[in-house]
Amino acid sequence: MLSVKQELLSGLAAGLETLSPGAGARAAFESPKVAAHGDFACTAAMQLAKPLKLNPRQLAETLRATLLAQPAYQRWVSDVDIAGPGFINIRLKPAAKQQTVREILDAAAAFGQQPSNGQRLMVEFVSANPTGPLHVGHGRQAALGDAICSLYQTQGWDVHREFYYNDAGVQIGTLAHSTQLRVNGFKPGDECWPTDPENPASKGFYNGDYIQDIANDFLAKKTVKSDDREFTASGDVNDLDGMRQFAVAYLRHEQDLDLQAFAVKFDHYYLESSLYTSGRVAATVQKLIDAGKTYELDGALWLKSTEYGDDKDRVMRKGDGSFTYFVPDVAYHIAKWERGFTKVINIQGTDHHGTIARVRAGLQAAGVGIPAGYPDYVLHTMVRVVRGGEEVKISKRAGSYVTLRDLIEWTSKDAVRFFLLSRKPDTEYTFDVDLAVQKNNDNPVYYVQYAHARICSVLAAWGGDVATLKDVDLAPLDSPAAQALMLLLAKYPAMLSDAARDFAPHDVTFYLRELAASYHSYYDAERILVDDEAVKKARLALVAATAQVLHNGLAVLGVSAPQKM
């Protein structure tokens, strides 16, 4: 129905131009709030009434007559109604909705996708420092980032997935010291193990059992390899730097295992330390100084970030000469811009909210041509996990947190992805492990996958070639249930565009659940494998198109579309 909609929009634009030159730009359709009112709605008459000083309902009547005189409206529209003060409701002929089936079967996996727009997008997500396996909060970020990448790929963007982490900061130093204690035979609870929260030297020591695993493999002189690094342990109990490099490679490998189980792949890993070794941090600071956007006070270097909407100026370089954490962030984003990424989306936890204003301020102050509002941010809340009716506590420091792999092993990759994407990123979410393994309609991912499998079983029972359904006569698809299903299928491309624009993969989950419900209703209303060959072929074409859209939508989420369940 995409081609039909475009024809009707062009006709609407032409009709509006006859009312007022330039008004054709207002041509747009909305979905009526009540399905019984029609298939498309238009409010252009009410928008034009005031500037034209005309009665909106009379203007709508004039526009209605103009539209009904056009060939496209005569071909595809059964009626145009005027409601209220000037709403225009358009009812399509069954043939218009039937075009959707043909478009889906022709495009197959490409249905809903836009041609290349020539623009490059980077999505940075997960970006967890290698101090432990990925927890379920990282899992939510991985699901969000990967789905947003897929959404933008459907819209024609050249998408790049990037993982940014630090291999030489304070946390990594603590990781190395924690490993060294284990290498020397000590463990949490021993008298020598740092536990005093008031003592900065002991703050944040890692107590998890995985630290002992690292220590054991270090002593065994093992080699560990991750996607972006490899290191062989010396086994020397005094080799602190070797322990640091080994622990980082070991935990990056662990993260890779989590990501592989989740079917997430990155195009590039970017090291925060490289921003210093390459001179990018120093060059960025110099740009800001040269631009007159800094000042010195109390021995520190400050950024005039209030000039760019921040609530206060920010320290860039502390009195001890070290840089605050947002400075390398600014340098990193200048690097992103210089690498040709005209759009950048960062997926981060809500605890990063304070960084947005200062990073954007730094980018504007640097004067390198980056537009205001760069980069975009999607912030997400953490995830509570409930199993057996009780919350499973997450405590990274104690080593008792739920890892992403734990959640996948308890349920499935598909369930974890679908569940973590089923709410807006900034809303609290409780992952119910028991619900995720249920095989009934209460489990949303099962409900959607079952609809796909149910269609596949119908097609298998028929036994024909789906490709032959592209050219069948679709006229028998005139029942209310069939038309409702076709109209919903037609909304898929626009849903994808809106979801990408709004960074909203949860909209895809909502749509798929609605589509599954519509299919189940259709299946209950009409037998598909009937004796009448023409009717059977038309209905098979409709359900094959529905399976294709279910498959396409699940693929955007990184969820499989099984043929049997």
What band does 394 get if pLDDT is binned at 50, 70 and 90? low
What band does 196 get if pLDDT is binned at 50, 70 and 90? low
Indicate the DSSP class of residue 376: E
- Tokens for 296, please give them: 């010195």
The CATH number of the domain covering residues in 278-380: 3.40.50.620
411 three-state secondary structure: coil
Specify the DSSP element, H or E, that contains 296: strand 294-297
- Tokens for 319, please give them: 């009195």
Instruction: Say what the pLDDT of residue 31 is.
Output: 84
Reported pTM: 0.91
Above 60 in pLDDT, residue 269?
yes
| Domains 2-92 and 278-380 in one fold | no
What is the domain partition of the chain in residue ranges? 2-92, 170-254, 278-380, 440-557
Whether 160 and 121 have beta carbons less than 8 Å apart is answered as: yes
Closest Cα partner for 46 from 61, 31, 36, 33? 61
Among 7-21, 273-287, 359-373, 391-405, the range scoring the smallest mean pLDDT is: 391-405
What band does 9 get if pLDDT is binned at 50, 70 and 90? very high
* Phi, psi (rounded to 5 degrees) for 130: -80, 70
What band does 201 get if pLDDT is binned at 50, 70 and 90? very low
**How many Cβ atoms from other residues are within 10 Å of residue 175's Cβ?**
27
Closest Cα partner for 275 from 318, 333, 321? 333
Greater model confidence, 189 or 285: 285
User: How far, in Å, CA of 426 to CA of 139, rounded?
Assistant: 15
Give strand pairing partners of 386: 391, 432
Instruction: Say what the pLDDT of residue 437 is.
Output: 97
Closest Cα partner for 515 from 537, 560, 545, 539? 545
Q: What is the DSSP string of 108-152?
A: GGGTTPPPP-S-EEEEE-----SSS--BHHHHHHHHHHHHHHHHH
Instruction: Say what the pLDDT of residue 397 is.
Output: 39
**How many Cβ atoms from other residues are within 10 Å of residue 368's Cβ?**
14
Above 60 in pLDDT, residue 395?
no
The CATH fold of domain 2-92: Gyrase A; domain 2 (3.30.1360)
What band does 25 get if pLDDT is binned at 50, 70 and 90? confident
Above 60 in pLDDT, residue 69?
yes
The per-residue pLDDT of the chain, averaged, comes to 93
Instruction: Say what the pLDDT of residue 265 is.
Output: 97
Question: How would you list the strands of the sheet with 429-432, edge to edge?
Answer: 390-392, 383-387, 429-432
User: How far, in Å, CA of 101 to CA of 96, rounded?
Assistant: 10
Give strand pairing partners of 379: 348
Among 113-122, 388-397, 414-423, the range scoring the smallest mean pLDDT is: 388-397
pLDDT > 70 fraction of the chain, expressed in percent and rounded: 97
What band does 206 get if pLDDT is binned at 50, 70 and 90? confident
Specify the CATH class of 440-557 in words. mainly alpha
What band does 438 get if pLDDT is binned at 50, 70 and 90? very high
What band does 35 get if pLDDT is binned at 50, 70 and 90? confident
Instruction: Say what the pLDDT of residue 195 is.
Output: 63
- Tokens for 468, please give them: 């032959």
Q: Per residue in 504-547, pLDDT tens?
A: 999 999 999 999 999 999 999 999 999 999 999 999 999 999 99
Specify the DSSP element, H or E, that contains 221: none
103-107: average pLDDT: 97
Closest Cα partner for 141 from 301, 328, 334, 350? 350
* Amino acid occupying residue 467: A
Where residue 402 falls (left for φ over 0; alpha for ψ -120 to 50; beta otherwise) is: beta
User: How far, in Å, CA of 255 to CA of 207, rounded?
Assistant: 18
Q: Per residue in 229-239, pLDDT tens?
A: 999 999 999 99
| Alpha carbon 284 to chain centroid, angstroms | 31
HEC string for 417-435: HHHHCCCCCCCCEEEEHHH
User: How far, in Å, CA of 333 to CA of 480, rounded?
Assistant: 52
Greater model confidence, 313 or 194: 313
